[in-house]
Amino acid sequence: MIEAKREGLPPNHGLEQAKLYADSQRLNAHFVFSSNGHQFVEFDRFTGQTRGPLPMAEFPTPLELQERYEDGIGFTLDRPEAQPLLTPYPGGEFRRRYYQDAAIRAVLEKIAQCRQRQEPARALLALATGSGKTFIAVNLLKRLADAGQMTRALFICDRDELRTQALGALYAVFGSDAAQATTANPEKNARVVVATYQTLGVDQDGDASYLSRHYPENYFSHLIIDECHRSAWGQWSQVLTRNAAAVQIGLTATPRQLPDDAQPTPEAKMMGKLRRITCAISASQFMNTRWRRRWPMAIWRRVKSVSARSTWMTPG
């Protein structure tokens, strides 16, 4: 990621701003640059080190960045487990939003790292409601399938409306290879099976017999668990334990709860809120939008003065 500033400014002028973008995890950018067009400064998120200022002639080449990325991530891009990262999106790149692409790449990186270390592949995606978790899940499965790494997948929902939504999105990409399991038909010929906890018999009142009767252990190579913040110690944990070798990806809009002694202070919460505002909307944009009317004047003054006083935004 490159933060470009006016040539009259120091080359490191935009580095802290760019690091905030990267730290927000909405871009999944491992290398952060700030430049005034004549020199640049670089921050490597793998090593935590900053270099520069350096002349533009020393800006790293794509091959150099690839080699450094491979060293940092722990595998080379010519490895079979890395192929989903290089697989294009169905329908083209323009269909996804930048943070969706960042989430997909982060999960594919995690899966590849786990396979490289011969560990069970597990990933958790916590995104806000309406951010497109179903889109992310569908494209994850499609890219894994196109790379030859997915045989059968199970998409688990906790409500009928979510099942209908997921099935529609999966059908648009997988066609008839995506199907809805019912009590009468487990759809064992489908490549992607969509089911609710209730259908599988693993909800609170179920007996889990449907799951064991129709799907042998490790039947699915990939599990997508929607609303995974539901307790995994209930009946539905059998979906996970009976498919222990599967890649297991959890989706939730409920952030994790920290212990009381690890909870951020009210001041830290305010700082985090302000950081998110300034990451998403610059001070000049903020002035011209309706958002100014929605926030207390104290917050507005803080955001307006970001460019003049940026030290309070710097992560500790």
Q: Which pLDDT score, from 0 to 100, does residue 269 have?
A: 43
| 2-73 CATH fold | tt1808, chain A (3.90.1570)
Angle at 116 between CA 115 and CA 119, to 5 degrees: 50
Architecture of domain 100-284 in this structure: 3-Layer(aba) Sandwich (3.40)
Give the H or E element holding residue 210: helix 209-214
The better pLDDT of the pair 235, 242 is held by 242
The token pair that represents 258 in the structure block = 């920290």
Domain boundaries, given as residue ranges, for the chain:
2-73, 100-284
Rounded CA-CA distance 311/132 in Å is 34
Task: Name the nearest CA neighbour of 23 among 272, 286, 312.
Answer: 272
CA 219 – CA 213 distance, rounded (Å): 12
Between 233 and 151, name the one with better pLDDT. 151
What's the pLDDT score for residue 20? Answer: 74
Of residues 128 and 294, more confidence is placed in 128
Higher per-residue pLDDT: 275 or 147: 147
Average pLDDT, the chain: 74
- The count of other CB atoms within 10 Å of the CB of residue 196 is 19
Question: How would you classify the pairing of strands 222-225 and 153-157?
Answer: parallel
User: Reading across the β-sheet that carries 39-44, which strands appear in turn?
Assistant: 2-4, 31-35, 39-44, 49-55
pLDDT tens string 52-71 = 788 888 888 889 888 888 88
For 185-226, what is each residue's pLDDT tens digit?
888 888 888 888 777 765 555 555 777 788 888 889 999 888
pLDDT, position 72? 82
User: Does the N-terminal peptide bond of residue 255 adopt cis geometry, omega within 30 degrees of 0?
Assistant: no
Which regions of the chain does DSSP assign to beta strands (E)? 2-4, 31-35, 39-44, 49-55, 122-126, 153-157, 178-180, 192-196, 222-225, 247-252
Model confidence at 167: pLDDT above 60:
yes
* Pairing mode of beta strands 122-126, 49-55: unpaired
Pick the residue with more confidence: 81 or 316?
A: 81
Task: Indicate the pLDDT class of residue 259, thresholds 50, 70 and 90.
Answer: low
User: What does each C-alpha distance from 307 to 121, 195, 289, 293 come to in angstroms?
Assistant: 42, 50, 18, 21
Residue 190 has a pLDDT of 86
The percentage of the chain sitting over the pLDDT mark of 70, rounded to a whole number, equals 72
